Amino acid sequence: MPNDLDQETGDDLDLMGPIDYIVVEFPGSRMTGEGFPILVDLVDRGLIRILDLAFVTKDPDGSIHAIDIRDIDGDGELDLTVFEGASSGLLGEEDLDEAGTVLEAGSSAGILVYENVWAAPFARAVRKGGGQLVASGRIPVQALLAAADADAADTGASA
């Protein structure tokens, strides 16, 4: 699943959708791989394009190390070779170290940088119309659930 970002011209970059990143921690470095088939499906359906995928681990002493993608779990069973070559150059060693600082000791994480291909037509239209993205963010599911619970409690109290 190599990426072709380095082959794109400036005009092609104007056609891209928004770029996001996520850091997913696996406490105790226990990765089952359940999410990887879904990630491949998102790519296959043209919803996202993986620009970078990297893994780090944080040792009990706090040191942070990159993990080779070929055998992420160390037992030969979790094969991620389909993701080899997914590197645009956006993620550097400094980024991996920074991602590792948020991990608990003894845990690992996957760092994914991806283009939201599904949003590219909207992004192009906005740019063509002179608009530009000046802020973005993400609301964690836990915050949404807490807001829904608070709303339900308020509705129940006022009924």
Question: Which structure tokens are listed for 141?
Answer: 């599911």
Question: Which of 141-158 are b and which e, b meaning 16 or more Cβ less than 10 Å from the residue's Cβ?
Answer: eeeeeeeeeeeeeeeeee
The per-residue pLDDT for 148 is 92
The per-residue pLDDT for 9 is 46
Output the pTM of the full model.
Answer: 0.76
Q: Domain segments of the chain: what residues?
A: 5-119
Question: How far is residue 53's CA from residue 6's CA, in Å, rounded to a whole number?
Answer: 16
Sign of the C-alpha dihedral computed for residues 121, 126, 132 and 134 taken in this order: negative
The per-residue pLDDT for 34 is 85
Question: How far is residue 90's CA from residue 120's CA, in Å, rounded to a whole number?
Answer: 19
Q: Let me know: does 19 contact 114? Beta carbons within 8 Å.
A: yes
The per-residue pLDDT for 37 is 87
C-beta neighbour count of 138 within 10 angstroms:
8
Give the C-alpha distances (Å, rounded to integers) separating 21 from 4, 6, 125, 129, 138. 18, 18, 23, 26, 11
Residues of the chain with pLDDT under 70: 1-13, 70-85, 157-159
The residue type of 66 is: A
